[in-house]
Amino acid sequence: MAIWSMASQKGGASKSTTIVNIASVLANKGYKVLVLDADEQPTASKWGSSRNRKHPESPKILFDQAYGDISVVLAEMSEKFEYVLVDTAGHASMEMRASFLSSDIVLTPFRVSLADLDSLGYMSNIAQLAKEMNPNLKSYAFLSCAPTDAMAKDIKPAREAILGYPELTLLDTIIRHRQCFIDSISEGLGVIEFKAKSTSIKKAQEEINSLVEEILKCQSLS
């Protein structure tokens, strides 16, 4: 039983897209998964509705919605599912703060833009304060929506900026900006479930699988 939350002060870093793709990977591994949508722009829930309507044969992922202090809901759900994945709003919200206090792992995606990286200090402080009440909390950061050019000049300084905040452990995996991640939302599938095997889809599949495996490894070490 584990609670993983996706939290960010900034919108546009593909929180919802990443959390449902993580859910897809875990469900395809045979885990019992619930996605708790705590964002009033319910992208994750819409993905779930599309999945149930278009792909009822796909591995089952359950969805629920909760707002405000979601701590009680998370405690209840964690007893029923192997993984509870939480999608919080892209701003400093009560739901985001509650997720830090209730989760085993909090994941914060950062774009390589200066505007996103400006929130590093805020997210680091939230993680530090949360650990006083949730000492087992592990907070991780990763680069999201990164340029597909592996040698893009913005990636190295972005990684260096995150490394300056030890409360947010930087993951090695980089999720890059790919159309198939965007398409996965409307389709109700994770990219690992796409049957087409273009180069871009294969790379997206490698990225999301790598991210999940890295998180699972971090979880096993905690």
Q: Where are the beta strands (DSSP E) in 39-157?
A: 61-65, 83-88, 105-110, 138-146
All residues at 6 or more sequence positions from 17 whose CB lies less than 8 Å from its CB, including other chains: 43, 181, 182, 184, 185
pLDDT tens digits, 19-66: 999 999 999 999 999 999 998 888 999 999 999 999 999 999 999 999
Question: What pLDDT digit, counting tens, does each position of 182-217 carry?
Answer: 999 999 999 999 988 899 999 999 999 999 999 999
Q: 116-129: per-residue pLDDT in tens?
A: 888 999 999 999 99
Q: Which of the following CATH numbers is that of domain 2-221: 2.40.30.10, 3.90.850.10, 1.10.10.10, 3.40.50.300?
A: 3.40.50.300
Mean pLDDT of 54-80: 91
What was the pLDDT predicted at 92?
66
What is the DSSP code string of 113-139?
Answer: SHHHHTTHHHHHHHHHHHHHH-TT-EE
The helix or strand, by DSSP H or E, that contains position 37, with its residue range, turns out to be strand 33-38
Nearest alpha-carbon partner for 75 in 20, 24, 34, 132: 34
Domain spans, the chain: 2-221
Q: Which pLDDT tens digit goes with each residue over 163-179?
A: 999 999 999 999 999 99
Q: What is the pLDDT of residue 151?
A: 66
Q: For residues 167 and 149, which has the higher predicted lDDT (pLDDT)? A: 167
Q: How far apart are CA 49 and CA 167, in angstroms?
A: 36
Mean pLDDT of the region 131-142: 95
Cα→Cα distances 202→14, 26, 105, 149, 179, Å: 19, 18, 27, 15, 12
Checking if the pLDDT of 150 tops 70, the result is no
pLDDT grade for 142, boundaries at 50, 70 and 90: very high
Indicate whether 9 pLDDT > 90: no
Which pLDDT does position 130 carry in this prediction?
94
